[in-house]
Structure 1
């Protein structure tokens, strides 16, 4: 079956909810960009990798920074190199096309088969960045002024756009997207995720680590709650250090900071808050 006819059904290495599968397939049906929001560490970027794998196609990744411009996704004209080559008498300066650097959208458009194009963390860029891509993502074409080319998508790519909600996106941009918010996994879903990554992990350690993990997430006043990726890092360390379930289960340790807490708590304010609450809990006990 060709990738154009496929649907996303999830993969063995990625636990996708039915809602998330429906969102991906809705974007495929509507031929609109899929805008994914959610807490950092909830698998937004990994989703694009798994969708490409599921659809048996390639993934083109465009990671956005605060300095990224929309034009870079189309192409860039390297005028400096052309000037240098002209001073050196290089014959290739006669063809301006030699100095056109293709961007990620161009790469996706010129592919013979449908690609998955990831525009990762779009909210890091300038507020005008999404608006500057409206026409290109809608029409799936753009004009190269230096060579007078019109670049059109041979196969319309599936565009997956992620955002951590650092800033609001323009309404005109949102109207052109299919939106899905990845809710933080509940305990049962998280257990499935853990089992995918650590299939041989003993069940007792999984249960006790998840209990500790969700207790930390429920604490009021945390500046940064631990996420899925941090839980997986913590479990990897617990296994490497051969921490037993009894250490996590021990009643005294429920009033203390967890072992290898640096994988879960990422700033000193949260560590101090945890230590303060642990001290108060021990005093009351």
Structure 2
């Protein structure tokens, strides 16, 4: 069972090593990186490459670790008891299985994505330490212990919004997805737009990296945003010369796909104003 990337996902060598190391160690793979660098898509592509079912647990600020195991619906049971429903005699009717439980009881190995773990409360990772380490948990309402029949491949993503506890980090194999170099990004673009003209691609990527490296930029455009931008350039049938910027405006064509806040738009407007002043 080895991951080498897929036809739809260009995986750099260090990322391939990280995925296969986590699978071999049977430890969760913790993936960090800028938003839009393909962390979530990685989990889907790992499932595709390994031929395994894919399960996804999206984490929100209100998500509790217990929800990944199970939830006991005491309110529904009380209501049914008042109505004389026979279902109340079996507590299992009021247990809702979470994503971890579903992954543990799957007929075969699965890939489980725990997406954006840093959105949750700081205690969230600690509350999952034993379950992810031992691959089992206890259901207090029924007295049963749920154990993984086949240890899932667990991939956890984080956007670095919060620091994760050391005890949690010790149980993971860590990898940081660096923003791709221009050759890797070119390969990624060719997967999505195989017919793109070389001159347009070179001009667009050169301009894209110039924008990313502009000092003072609040949010650097990501891989997903450059793909959106190129899709628009192709839809508008623009030529390389159409992307040329001058002193009147340093904003790129269709800049709304790349710049996502007014501060960065104003930054390029100020740079253009300063350039005209020096002229």
- 1:130-176: CA deviations, max 9, x gaps? 00000000000000000111100000001100011111000000000
Q: Give distance in 2, aligned partners of 1:259 and 1:79.
A: 56
Q: TM-score, normalised by structure 1?
A: 0.95
Shift of 1:251: 5.6
Compute the RMSD of aligned alpha carbons: 1.2
Q: TM-score, normalised by structure 2?
A: 0.97
Q: Give distance in 1, aligned partners of 2:207 and 2:273.
A: 17
Which portions of structure 1, spanning 4 or more consecutive aligned residues, are displaced by more than 6 angstroms?
none
Match of 1:277 in 2: 271
Equivalent positions of 1:128-207 (< 5 A) are: 128-207=123-202
| Count of residue pairs the alignment pairs up | 279
Equivalent positions of 1:1-285 (< 5 A) are: 6-248=1-243, 250=244, 252=246, 256-285=250-279
Q: Give distance in 1, aligned partners of 2:217 and 2:150.
A: 46
Q: Secondary structure at the match of 2:246?
A: helix
Q: Determine if contact 2:31/2:176 at 8 Å carries over to the other structure.
A: yes
For structure 2, the 5+ residue unaligned runs are none
Q: Determine if contact 1:247/1:253 at 8 Å carries over to the other structure.
A: no
Q: Give distance in 2, aligned partners of 1:251 and 1:102.
A: 55
- 1:73-107: CA deviations, max 9, x gaps? 00000111111211221111111100100000001
Q: Secondary structure at the match of 1:13?
A: coil
